[in-house]
Amino acid sequence: MLNFNRVGEIVCYAMLNFLPYLFAALYPFRYQFRYSKKIMALFIFIITLVQVEIGLLDVLWPDINKTLLNLVSTIVYFVFYFWAVKAHLGKTLFTLLMLSGIANFIVVCSKCLEGYFFPALARQPFRWSYSVVMLLVQLFILVPLFFYIRNIYTNAIEKETNPVLWRYLWLVPATFYLLGLYHLYGNTKTSTEIALQPENTVFLLFINLGAMLIYHMVVCLINEYHKNSGLEMQNHLLEIQKLQYEKLTERIAEARRARHDLEHHIAIMTGYLKGNQLDKLSDYLEGYRKALPDDSAILFCQNTAVNLLMLYFSQQAKEREIDFSVHMDIPKQISIGENELAVLLGNLLENAVTSCSNQTKGERRITVGGKVNEESLLFTIDNTFEGEIKRGKDGIFLSTKHGGAGIGIESVKQIVLRHDGMFEFEQRDGIFYVSILLKLS
C-alpha cells in the first residue's frame, strides 16, 4: 500500500515531468486554442490526473511493462496537444517533438545525477530525490529555453511562411527524437540502468546540442525568409503608393487643364445658344462630356493598405479589360496589420485577376466587397472564370501555376485561422465566390 508521502512523491514527479513541457509547447500557439482559457485549464487538470494515475500504476504494479506505460503517457500527451491546438500540423509536430527530445534528456540527466548524489534512492521510481534533482536540472535548462521560445522561436512560428515548408520540417526533430528513444529502449537494459550510466547522459547531451543548433538554424532561416518577404511586400506597397500618387497628380493636371479650357467651351456654347443652334449645342455638349477626365474612384475606403490594394488591382484589371467594381467600407484603423491585409487581399485579388485574364469568351468581371460589422471584418470577392477549378482529395484548391495546392490560398487560410475567422470558397455558374470573416480584437 502507498502512504501519503509516497503518493506525494509520485504526484510531484508527474507534475514536474508534464506541466513545464506542456506550458512550453502551448505558449507559441497561445492565440490558437480551440477552446477558452478556462476550458483549457480544466482539460490540463484532467490530463495531469491521467499522468499521475500512470505513475501510480508504475509503482503499484512493479512487473508492468515500463515501455508500454511510457508509450501510453506519450500518446495521451500527443492526442491532447493536437486536439487542443488549431495550427498547422507541421508546426505543432515540430514544437512537440523538439520539446519531447529535450524532456527525454532531462529525465536521463536527472536520474544520472540522482544516482551520483543519492545512490540508495536512485533505483527506486519517483522518489523525492529524483524530483529535487529534476527541478534543478529543469531550472538550468528550461528557464533559458523558455526565454528562447518566447523571444525567438514563437516569432518564427507565428509568421506566415510557405505551408509546404512545414510539411517536411517536422522530420528534423522527429529524427533526433527517434534516435534518443532508440538509445534508451533499443536494448535489453532497463531505462533506469541506462540513465544511471554517465556516458549515456553525455551521448544524449551532444545529440540535443546538435539538435538545438539545427533547430536554431531553421528558425533563423524562417525569420530571414519572412524578412525578405516583408521587404518585397514593402516594395510592392511603395509601387502601389507611387501609382496612386501618379494617378492623383494626373487628375490634378487634368482638372487644371479643364479649368483653363472652360472659358473657351463657354464661349462656343454661348455662341450656339445665341444663334439658336440647339442641335449643334447638343452635339458639342455630348463631345465635351466624353472628353472629361476619368472620374473613377481614387479613394475606395479610408483604410490606407486596403485602398492601395484596390487601386493597384483596379489598374491591373483595367489593363486587362476586366470590369472591376468595389464596394468597400473599411475604417482607417483596425486591429489587423497591413502586412496581413496585403497577403490576404493580395493573394485573392491576384487569383481573381489571373482567372479573369485566362477567359477567352464571355464577360470578365470582379466584384469586391468589404465592411466592418460589430467585431468582425468581412470581405467578399466574386470573379468570373472559364473552365473548371480543381480541388485535391482534401478539398484544397489546386494551383493552376504549378502542381499541388495553391500556396496563396493556404496563406489566406492561415491568416483566417489565426484571427479565429471563417472562410468559404465556392464555384457556381461560372463565378468563383470567396467569403472571408475575421474577428477583430
Tens digits of per-residue pLDDT, 43-57?
999 999 988 888 888
Tell me phi and psi for residue 377, to 5 degrees: -110, 125
Strand 365-373 to 422-428 pairing: unpaired
Q: Contact at 8 Å (CB) between 94 and 166?
A: yes
Give the pLDDT confidence score for residue 400 in this predicted structure. 52
Q: What is the pLDDT of residue 161?
A: 64
Burial 180-212 (b: 16+ CB within 10 A, else e): bbebbeeeeeebeebbbeeebbebbeebbeebb
pLDDT of residue 173: 93
Per-residue cell: 130: 529524483
Residue from 207, 208, 218 nearest 91 by CA? 218
Best CA proximity match to 49, nearest among 24, 73, 69: 73
Q: Reduced to 3 states, what is the DSSP secondary structure of residue 32?
A: coil
| Position 378, amino acid | L
Confidence at residue 373, expressed as pLDDT on a 0 to 100 scale: 86
Q: Residue 364: what pLDDT?
A: 93
Q: What is the mean pLDDT of each run of 10 residues along the chain (441 residues)?
A: 78 90 93 88 91 82 74 86 88 93 92 91 86 94 95 84 78 90 74 82 91 92 76 67 67 70 81 85 81 64 85 87 92 84 87 91 93 90 84 53 53 82 88 92 72
Exposed e or buried b per residue across 299-316, where buried means at least 16 C-beta atoms within 10 angstroms of its C-beta: ebbebbbbbbbbbbbbbb
- What's the confidence (pLDDT) of residue 405? 45
| 304 Cβ contact list (under 8 Å, min separation 6) | 332, 338
Distance in Å from the first CA to the final CA of the chain: 53
Q: Comparing C-alpha atoms, which of 418, 341, 416 is closest to residue 30? A: 418
Using CA atoms, how far apart are residues 319 and 316, in angstroms rounded to an integer? 5
H or E stretch including 384? strand 376-384
